[in-house]
Amino acid sequence: MTALLLSLVIILGIVSIVQMLRVFDLSNAIKGTDEIHVNNQETNNIRWAFVVFFVGFFAFFIYLVAEFGDQLLPQSASAHGVDYDWLMNFNMLIITIVFVVTHIILMVFIVKYAKNVSPKATFVTHNNRLELIWTTTPAVVLTIIVIYGISTWNSMLMDKPEDSINIELYARQFDWTARYAGEDNILGKANFRMISATNALGIINSSTIDDRLNQYDDQIAELEASREKVFPGGVSDEEILDKIILVKKNRSAVLKYEEQSKNENFDVADDDILTKVEFHIPVNRSINFSIRSQDVLHSAYMPHFRAQMNAVPGVITNFYFTPIVTTKEMRKITGNPDFDYLLLCNKICGAAHYNMQMNIIVETEEEYNKWLLEQPKFNVAQAQ
């Protein structure tokens, strides 16, 4: 009933407005006036009203920059972030200049060329000089921006130091896991076919290969038993048969790792270290991140380090940076004793996307080494 009454009120309101406009038109016709055309006085009022608007608009823009300009991210906590911030400021400077100049021109044109009672139109087919200016100027500016941006990006991704600490960031709905390469600084291999309840990252070593083969054998036996139970005599539902074929295919792939282990040492993964609550990195040491995703597209975003890289299923992406400000130092800089660096997901990856974050602790190398020694190795955690 309420919806019906509301609909009637809206309809009656529309009808009333239409009728009022008709009365307004009839009144103008009787008076012999034309309210559509604007006289010179009204033109001047509109012209200077626009001037007041633009002055207020620029004043408000200056106020926002002065009041909230320091509310962005604090100073960069990584070495490359300084260059990144210069690139950002350079782009913002160009955008601001173009913004101010174009709006001043717009204001001048409104004041100078406001419509008069008897306007005289000027028809210009083209102007070579003007067209050359508005074509070459943006082209030159954009070329400078692109070259500067590419050179900065390349400096952030290339020439990775050989002594970089290797860490893997593993994304899945809806959490992160950090995996350290251990004492050998070599991350063990991983594969999605190795993922199980006891091996969430699909890490490959001797024990996980044996465990996974046993798990696949149990799955095949269970599916075969369900065939006999539901369809006596071996007649099978195609869905169950497809599952058996898929499990056998995965088992064959894992079996190849067992054969490769005779010539390749998969046990380099034994000393890998996994952590989920937070991860630690030492200050002034290059950190090389290998980034993987288990399910959908995620994005490893560490804003204070000016670092972001997509986590793509089936692909390993990389990013490295050198932290230059410890967590304790940044707490003093920001005046926030509870400040923490964060690893976030910057791709909307599902209903609990907001929950994909992890604390990053930047500390001295002595503190980092002490923390690292307290973490269990992967082979020890598997045995427990």
The pLDDT of residue 382 is: 56
Please check whether residue 227 is in contact with residue 234, taking contact to mean a CB–CB distance below 8 angstroms.
yes
Question: How would residue 34 be classed by pLDDT, with cut points 50, 70 and 90?
Answer: low
Mean pLDDT of the region 189-217: 86
User: In whole numbers, what is the pLDDT of the chain averaged over residues?
Assistant: 84
DSSP-derived secondary structure for 333-365: HHT-TT--EEEEE-S--STTGGG-EEEEEEE-H
The pLDDT of residue 368 is: 93
Please check whether residue 289 is in contact with residue 192, taking contact to mean a CB–CB distance below 8 angstroms.
no
Please list, in sequence order, all residues whose beta carbon lies within 8 angstroms of the beta carbon of residue 227, skipping any fewer than 6 positions away: 234, 236, 237, 240, 241, 244
Could you tell me which residue, 35 or 261, shows the higher pLDDT? 261
The pLDDT of residue 131 is: 87
- pLDDT value at 1 more than 80: no
Report pLDDT digits (tens) over 130-188.
Answer: 888 889 988 999 999 999 988 888 877 777 787 889 999 999 988 999 999 888 888 88
Kind and range of the H or E element at 168?
Answer: strand 165-172
Report pLDDT digits (tens) over 257-310.
Answer: 888 877 888 888 888 889 988 999 999 999 999 999 999 999 999 999 999 999
Q: Which domains does the chain have, with CATH numbers?
A: 161-187+272-384 (2.60.40.420), 190-271 (no CATH)
The pLDDT of residue 223 is: 82
Residue 20: exposed, middle, or buried by beta-carbon count in 10 A (0-12, 13-18, 19+)? exposed
The pLDDT of residue 28 is: 66
The pLDDT of residue 233 is: 54
Report pLDDT digits (tens) over 43-73.
Answer: 778 888 888 998 999 999 999 888 887 777 8
Spell out the SS3 assignment of 146-164: HHHHHHHHHHHHCCCCCCC
Cα gap 294→188, rounded to integer Å = 17
3-state secondary structure of 129: helix
The pLDDT of residue 224 is: 79
Tell me, rounded to whole angstroms, the distance of Cα 26 from its chain centroid. 59
Please check whether residue 272 is in contact with residue 185, taking contact to mean a CB–CB distance below 8 angstroms.
no
- pLDDT value at 383 more than 50: no
The pLDDT of residue 341 is: 94
Pinpoint the alpha helices (H) of 158-309.
206-230, 238-260
Report pLDDT digits (tens) over 212-253.
Answer: 888 888 888 888 777 766 655 555 577 778 888 888 888 888
The pLDDT of residue 311 is: 93
3-state secondary structure of 331: helix
The pLDDT of residue 66 is: 87
Give which of 229, 231, 228, 202 is closest to 215, Cα–Cα.
Answer: 202
The pLDDT of residue 154 is: 83
